[in-house]
A and B are shown apart, each in its own frame.
Chain A
């Protein structure tokens, strides 16, 4: 226990040392919010396996790595190519080690009613609506890392889509991390407000450079107002020693729709905890994801979908592929509250284990407090099908390629849930790139 208390304090040292450098200083409401976050984090301490949400994920990386707060110098490093995923994006915002890089970003030409700004800039400009929403969508939550983010938030974006505005092309947010002398940590905080009848697509892409350790402690609040619609995608391609913790809170209003897809293709520890509240009649969500892990990587998707009103619907599909000694966790809870009759909730989690050392813990849960609902859940884990492999190989397809085809086919079923075609293709590209390279095998093959 003592060891953990030290770790929690260590993480706060960054706060105390760099307090003056954090964005929004001089705003009393923000100072207050940060102080509350700090206190909450101190009280909660680092999560342990005793907490249901952290039952299968240990925080060992914090025991062997010391993180210092990211500095402006870390954010000023040269990056030759911005790893943009989309050819056509309405806007692109690029952060390097948490620092907004205006010269690499492009937010020009956005239609009226669409506002997208780095958090620091928005706070400096005194955008008043932020005070009304930041921390409010999530409310009081017993999540230590969310509280830590509230205390230390230093990066991220605020997006507002005004009433009735519809933005067709996606907004792409790129977070590049790595290449620092010592392991850094930073805390992106995103706030997305989709007003009544508005719609937009946001893709957040985290990508690591080099093999060094770093820690991204992200938090996101999303409010989709009545009749609004948000497609919210994330791609996490962190470095092999990186930690990415992401906590999101989403509120979906009357007849509003929220679609999320999270793809994780790397990182020592990659954890996403999403809470969605279907708050008014007709609210619906799709919460989907895929993960591909190898080596000693660890991925955790912990989700809660709450049906709080009648005629709400949710659909959740997570699929993952685990190789080597990698591990994954899926904990999915659907709660249908009293009074949320005629609700509809479906959940599916499937994992493909490519090696004997890989491991998955799956915990699907349904809590239903009302009659007249349609709910289902399922979880499965298995290996590549030997009969399918033999069939492909008997047609001349080399084993490695046959395995790739089967893995790709398995994941395609999840990725197809992404309704934005450009994003879907980008995600499938990521999947294909993750697969073991073929060329040398083919060369070897030809040599025979």
Chain B
């Protein structure tokens, strides 16, 4: 079997503008890869196009998830197959409680897999286990999804959703942004707990900081819509020292 996520010569336009220009990436099962790059390099576009956001058009190439082309699938189908995106800016949904949201999501995914739905009791039990490990207070479950949450609470809530839905592929889009060191450790621990031979994680970040806690198997540098360089985890440390100047220069050529 091929890689969990296999992106081949991916071209993506948003509006009229081409953002990804022939991106190649292979993420095997069981591995954690980091995508690093300067602002505006196409990192968030990559995360949205994997999750299936409207307005991100694949003009060339493909994204294969466990051998299946993601392009024709609705966002909910992708989620059901095991794709999860931790948003850079989690969305506030006033009037829908966190518990309802998580239960609807989990049961929708279970239904789509032909599994039975969890009843309220079973669900609460499962949820309690996860919130305890992530240090999430019960009060956060009763509140509306992300409404009035602090930056750190929002990111922790993303990790809670990930822990409940147990995806095969988790894409973390700048999950470290806006987090203090304690929150960062909690988030990283949540991600590390999900590491297993059958799961993969794509960590998208601007800074090396998060990668000290979530150790990647490979690091890729994304600039100008393509992977410019790939290497081991030491590449992250190198980028931290040298910055992205080298890759910005590529564009000027």
Residues of A within 8 A of B (CB): 385-388, 390-399, 401-402, 405-406, 408-410, 412-413, 442, 445-446, 448
A228-B218 Cα distance, complex, nearest whole Å: 73
B71 at the interface (CB under 8 A from A): no
Given known contacts A395-B161, A395-B165, A405-B104, is B77 in contact with A388 (CB within 8 Å)? no
A396-B96 Cα distance, complex, nearest whole Å: 16
Query: When each residue 98-133 of chain B gets 1 if its CB lies under 8 Å from chain A and 0 otherwise, what string results?
Result: 001100111011011010000000000000000000
User: Is A401 a contact partner of B104 (Cβ separation < 8 A)?
Assistant: yes
B interface, how many residues as a size bin?
20 to 34
User: Is B76 a contact partner of A393 (Cβ separation < 8 A)?
Assistant: yes
User: Is B74 a contact partner of A393 (Cβ separation < 8 A)?
Assistant: yes
User: Is B95 a contact partner of A393 (Cβ separation < 8 A)?
Assistant: no
Q: List 5 A-B contacts (CB under 8 A).
A: A405-B101, A408-B96, A413-B95, A445-B111, A445-B112
Q: Chain B residues near A391 (CB, 8 Å)?
A: 87, 90-91, 93
Residues of B within 8 A of A (CB): 51-54, 74-80, 84-85, 87, 90-91, 93-96, 100-101, 104-106, 108-109, 111-112, 114, 144, 161, 165
A398-B54 Cα distance, complex, nearest whole Å: 15
Candidates B79, B93, B105; contact of A409 at CB < 8 Å: B93
Q: Chain B residues near A386 (CB, 8 Å)?
A: 54
**CB-nearest residue of chain A relative to B162?**
A395
User: Is A390 a contact partner of B95 (Cβ separation < 8 A)?
Assistant: no
User: Is B112 a contact partner of A396 (Cβ separation < 8 A)?
Assistant: yes
Candidates B53, B78, B111; contact of A446 at CB < 8 Å: B111
Q: Chain B residues near A399 (CB, 8 Å)?
A: 74, 76
Q: Chain B residues near A398 (CB, 8 Å)?
A: 76, 108
User: Is A410 a contact partner of B108 (Cβ separation < 8 A)?
Assistant: no
A406-B85 Cα distance, complex, nearest whole Å: 20
User: Is B93 a contact partner of A406 (Cβ separation < 8 A)?
Assistant: yes
B12, chain A: closest CB distance, angstroms? 16
B171, chain A: closest CB distance, angstroms? 10
A448-B104 Cα distance, complex, nearest whole Å: 19
User: Is A413 a contact partner of B94 (Cβ separation < 8 A)?
Assistant: yes
A393-B111 Cα distance, complex, nearest whole Å: 14
Specify which of A402, A408, A413 lies most central, judged by the most chain B CB atoms within 10 Å of its CB: A402
A412-B109 Cα distance, complex, nearest whole Å: 25
User: Is A395 a contact partner of B105 (Cβ separation < 8 A)?
Assistant: yes
User: Is B93 a contact partner of A392 (Cβ separation < 8 A)?
Assistant: yes
**CB-nearest residue of chain B relative to A445?**
B112
A401-B111 Cα distance, complex, nearest whole Å: 13
Q: Chain B residues near A402 (CB, 8 Å)?
A: 76
Specify which of B75, B104, B111 lies most central, judged by the most chain A CB atoms within 10 Å of its CB: B75
User: Is A393 a contact partner of B96 (Cβ separation < 8 A)?
Assistant: no
